[in-house]
Amino acid sequence: MSNIDTAARTAAEKSPVHCVWDAKATLGEGPCWVAREQAIYWVDIKQHQLHRLCTVTDQRRSWHIPDQLTALAPRRNGGFIGTLRDGFALLEIPQLGDRVHIKKLGTPEQEAAGNRFNDGKVDAKGRFWAGSMDDDEAKPTGSLYRLDGDCSWQHIDDNYIITNGPTFSPDGHTLYHTDTLARTIYAFDVTSDGRVGNKRVFFQFDESSGFPDGMTVDEEGCLWVCHFFGWGITRISPKGNIVGRLELPVSNVTSCTFAGDRLETLYITTARKGLTEEQLLAQPLAGGLFRYEPKVRGLAAGIFSG
């Protein structure tokens, strides 16, 4: 283990976060707060798993998904919108039984066999934004898409190796989107009908920060950016200044979302992917779901209008 890893782990051991589910996920991702159920849903992409934690009763459930489910969000009329490896899908998740019912909506990237979808999120207008990536994490074949309420999609941007973390400013006029391997978060202007423009670099991380992964925005408009190989979460102001840092006891921090009646709790997914046996011994909670109580509240999660 390097001196950097040792120092980071020592600091992270003092972290105020708590592991609420030691799931040992290979690639935990996509935490999604569903207020109508008082539950957090999240996925393990590599193990084809969907997990649900009721935050009131602590009841846990897991489902095996034949395809890779990479992200999901609730729909206005019940059920969920999500992304599978090759495209968008509608999902019905049973309260009883073990089979998740999936209706595929189409495959935007039929000719990109090496790609898969990754992160996704719904904006305040009920539109689902999701990105694709090169599954080998080598070629800039990934793109960003917008899925509208009529289940038609629009290509928004491209030239990404790994897309991550679509999230939105409190007023909905700014889209933030991450190019993970470039360690860059971009900002876009968004019109009321979902058109984007004025792409610009919002924040550039250095190598010591690991790789920016999933993220969310709080009520003050600050981004909470998770770091893969980075031992924590960085809070960045709307002006692009670092205003906080949350250390975790694991290095691969993948995504986060606010939850609870007042959106006062942050739930955080993590991963074991890419860690050696020695590193896993030093990080026994890697791949767990964590909880943290910040002194700021989040924004209500968007609900897909379709």
Q: Over the chain, what is the mean pLDDT? A: 94
Cα 141 to Cα 160: distance, rounded to the nearest angstrom: 6
Average pLDDT value for residue range 262-276: 97
> What pLDDT score does 97 carry?
73
**What are the angstrom distances between the C-alpha of 79 and each of 10, 73, 91, 100?**
42, 9, 6, 10
> What pLDDT score does 255 carry?
98
Average pLDDT value for residue range 188-217: 97
* Span 121-162, pLDDT tens digits: 999 999 999 999 999 999 999 999 999 999 999 999 999 999
Catalytic annotation present for 213: yes
pLDDT tier, 4 (very low <50, low <70, confident <90, very high otherwise) = very low
What percent of the chain has pLDDT above 90? 91
Looking at the predicted structure, is the pLDDT value of residue 95 above 90? no
**What are the angstrom distances between the C-alpha of 12 and each of 130, 139, 164, 284, 287?**
31, 33, 24, 13, 15
Phi/psi zone of residue 38: left (φ > 0), alpha (ψ -120 to 50 degrees), beta? Answer: left
Note whether 136 and 155 are within 8 A (CB): no
CB-facing half-sphere around the CA of 264: CA atoms within 13 A: 4
Question: String of b and e for 153-174 (b: at least 16 CB within 10 Å)?
Answer: beebbeebbbbbbbbbbeeeeb
**What are the angstrom distances between the C-alpha of 18 and each of 53, 268, 269, 280, 294?**
15, 10, 12, 18, 12
Question: Strand 142-147 relative to strand 128-134: parallel, antiparallel, unpaired?
Answer: antiparallel
- The DSSP string of 30-89 is EEEEETTTTEEEEEETTTTEEEEEETTT--EEEEE-SS-EEEEEEBTTSSEEEEETTEEE
* Span 224-257, pLDDT tens digits: 999 999 999 999 999 999 999 999 999 999 999 9
Name beta bridge partners: 290.
19, 268
**Per-residue tokens: 228:** 């893969």
Least Cα distance to 134 among 156, 118, 145 occurs for 118
Which of 57-66, 105-114, 242-251 bottoms out in mean pLDDT, i.e. has the lowest? 105-114
CB-facing half-sphere around the CA of 271: CA atoms within 13 A: 27
pTM reported for the whole predicted model:
0.94
Looking at the predicted structure, is the pLDDT value of residue 112 above 90? no
Q: Is the Cα torsion angle 270, 147, 204, 225 positive or negative in sign?
A: negative
- The DSSP string of 211-243 is EEEEEEEBTTS-EEEEEETTTEEEEE-TTS-EE
Count the Cβ atoms, other than its own, within 10 Å of residue 241. 10
pLDDT tier, 11 (very low <50, low <70, confident <90, very high otherwise) = very low
From 44, 123, 134, 213, the catalytic residue: 213
> What pLDDT score does 14 carry?
61
**Per-residue tokens: 71:** 């992200």
The kind and range of the H/E element at 116 are: strand 115-122
Cα 238 to Cα 169: distance, rounded to the nearest angstrom: 8
Looking at the predicted structure, is the pLDDT value of residue 179 above 50? yes
pLDDT tier, 5 (very low <50, low <70, confident <90, very high otherwise) = low
Looking at the predicted structure, is the pLDDT value of residue 3 above 60? no
Looking at the predicted structure, is the pLDDT value of residue 73 above 80? yes
- The DSSP string of 124-174 is TTS-EEEEEEETTS-SS-EEEEEE-TTS-EEEEEEEESBEEEEEE-TTS-E
